[in-house]
Structure 1
Amino acid sequence: MTRLTICIPTRNRQSYAMDAVRHMLASGRDDFEILLGDNSDDPEPLADFVSQTADPRLRLLSPEEKPLSMQDNWERLPPHCRGEWISIIGDDDYLDPELCEALRVTGKRVPQADAFTWGRSYFVWPEARTHREITKIPTGSHLMHMDKKDLMRRMFFWEGAKDRPSCSFGIYHGALKKDLLERIRTTFSNRYFEHPNADYESICKTVMLAEMCIYWERPLSVFGTCSHSNSAGLRDPKVGLERIKAIREENQGVIEAENFPFPIELGITASVAHTIEWFKQRYGIELNGWEEGFIKACAGDCETVADQARFNEKKAAYAAAIKAWGGPKAVKMFNPVYRYRSDIPKFMGHAEGHLNFDMAIGGAQGAAEFYNMIDAMMFPVKLLESRLDQG
Structure 2
Amino acid sequence: MTLLTICIPTRNRQSYAMDAARHMLASSRDDFEILLGDNSDDPAPLADFVREQNDSRLRLLPPAEEPLSMQDNWERLPPHCRGEWISIIGDDDYLDPELCEALRVTTKRVPQADAFTWGRSYFVWPETRTHREITKIPTGSHLMHMDKKDLMRRMFFWEGAKDRPSCSFGIYHGALKKDLLERIRSTFSDRYFEHPNADYESICKTVMLADMCIYWERPLSVFGTCSQSNSAGLRDPEVGLERIRTVREENKGALEAENFPFPIELGITASVAHTIEWFKQRYGIELNGWEEGFIKACAGDCETVSDRARFKAKKAAYEKAIRAWGGEKAVKMFDPVYRYRSDIPKFMGFAEDHLSFDMAIGDAQSAAEYYNLIDGMMFPVRLLESRLNEG
> Which TM bucket (shorter chain)?
over 0.9
Is 1:285–2:289 an aligned residue pair? no
Partners of 1:223 and 1:184 in 2: how far apart? Answer: 25
Amino acid at match of 2:212: M
Q: Specify the alignment match of 2:165 in structure 1.
A: 165
Q: After TM superposition, give the deviation of residue 254 of structure 1 in Å.
A: 1.4
What is residue 137 of structure 1 aligned with on the other side? 137
Instruction: State the distance in 1 between where 2:163 and 2:18 align.
Output: 32
Secondary structure of 2:338 counterpart: coil
Aligned partners of 2:147, 2:350: CA distance in 1, in Å? 28
Equivalent residue runs for 1:377-388 within 5 Å: 377-388=377-388
Runs (5+) with no aligned partner, structure 2: none
1:149-164 equivalence runs, <5 A? 149-164=149-164
Deviation at 1:238, TM superposition (A): 0.2
- Residue 207 (structure 1) aligns with: 207
Return the offset for 1:128: 0.3
Residue in structure 2 matched with residue 233 of structure 1 by the alignment: 233
Q: What residue in structure 2 maps to residue 35 of structure 1?
A: 35
SS in 2 for 1:284: coil
Q: Which amino acid aligns with 1:231?
A: S
* Counterpart residue identity of residue 312, structure 1: K
Q: Quote how far apart the aligned CAs of 1:11 are.
A: 0.1
Q: Distance in 2 between matches of 1:99 and 1:250?
A: 33
2:343 is equivalent to residue 343 of structure 1: yes
Following superposition, the deviation at residue 253 of structure 1 comes to 1.1
Matches within 5 A, 1:1-391: 1-391=1-391
Structure 2 residue identity aligned to 1:137? I
Residue by residue over 1:193-246, the C-alpha shift from the partner in whole angstroms, topping out at 9 and shown as x without a partner, is 000000000000000000000000000000000000000000000000000000
What is the rounded CA distance, in whole Å, between the counterparts of 2:139 and 2:48 in structure 1? 40
1:259-291: CA deviation from partner (whole Å, max 9, x where unpaired): 000000000000000000000000000000000
Give the deviation of 1:47 after TM superposition. 0.4
Instruction: State the distance in 2 between where 1:313 and 1:289 align.
Output: 28
> Stretches of 4+ moved more than 4 A in 1?
none
TM-score normalised to structure 1 length: 1.00
Q: In structure 2, give the amino acid aligned to 1:326.
A: G
SS of aligned partner of 1:327: helix
The alpha-carbon deviation at position 125 of structure 1 amounts to 0.1
How big is each residue's C-alpha offset from its partner over 1:22-41, in whole Å with a ceiling of 9 and x where there is no partner? 00000000000000000000
The amino acid that maps onto 1:294 is: F
CA distance in 2, matches of 1:127, 1:18: 17
Q: Which amino acid aligns with 1:9?
A: P
Aligned length: 391
Q: What is the CA distance between 1:324 and its match in structure 2?
A: 0.1
Aligned-partner Cα distance in 1 for 2:163–2:252: 28
Amino acid at match of 2:101: E
2:192 aligned counterpart, secondary structure: coil
3-state SS of paired residue (2:224): strand
User: Counterpart amino acid of 1:273?
Assistant: A
In the alignment, the residues of structure 2 paired with residue 193 and residue 268 of structure 1 have an alpha-carbon distance, to the nearest angstrom, of 20
How many angstroms apart in 2 are the aligned matches of 1:55 and 1:197? 32
Distance in 2 (alpha carbons) for counterparts of 1:211 and 1:239: 39
Could you tell me how far apart the structure 2 residues matched to 1:210 and 1:137 are?
27
Cα distance in 2 between the residues matched to 1:7 and 1:39:
13
Q: Give the distance between the partners of 1:223 and 1:64, measured in 2 at CA.
A: 27
